[in-house]
Amino acid sequence: MLLAFIYSIVLIKTSLLGLGVVSIVLSVAFIVALRLNLPALPVNAKSKFIKSFKFVLFAHLLGYLLLVSKLLLIDGWQDVPMFIASHLIMHHIWSGLIAAILTLTTILKYQTFIAKPKTAKST
């Protein structure tokens, strides 16, 4: 179980650093590793981690799709500075949003699978 959380932490860090291609490659590798049952996990935990890693994969791919679509809308050299500035802003917001969502889902998984809530004693 610890290895799956380490996978999530690595993806959070690469997303925060803005390493989109690295995050895509790592999320594919982590999905394959979980499918090969490298960290032995219960079925429900494995499916939740795979779902999170697929989110990272598709969110980064969507970010690159947005970049290419913005690139195709450039009319001339006068649009290049605005393209660069808007891409930097979009890139920081998008990467931070991906990392924030993955952080929250990882914390929820930790509370669900590791930090089991204590049941109240009935008197």
Residue 103 lies in a domain: yes
Its sign, for the CA torsion 83, 86, 92, 96, is negative
22-81 pLDDT per residue, tens: 999 999 999 999 999 988 899 999 999 999 999 999 999 999 999 999 899 888 888 889
pLDDT at 117: 61
Domain encompassing residue 40? 2-113
In a domain, 73, yes or no: yes
Q: 96 in a domain, yes or no?
A: yes
Residue 122 reports pLDDT greater than 80: no
Q: Is residue 122 part of a domain?
A: no
Q: Is residue 105 part of a domain?
A: yes
Amino acid identity, position 94: W
Count of domains for the chain = 1
In a domain, 38, yes or no: yes
pTM for this structure? 0.86
Determine, yes or no, domain membership for 119: no
The number of angstroms, rounded, from the C-alpha of 3 to the middle of its chain's C-alpha atoms is: 16
Distance from chain centroid for Cα 66: 17
DSSP state letters, 66-90: HHHHHHHT--SGGGHHHHHHHHHHH
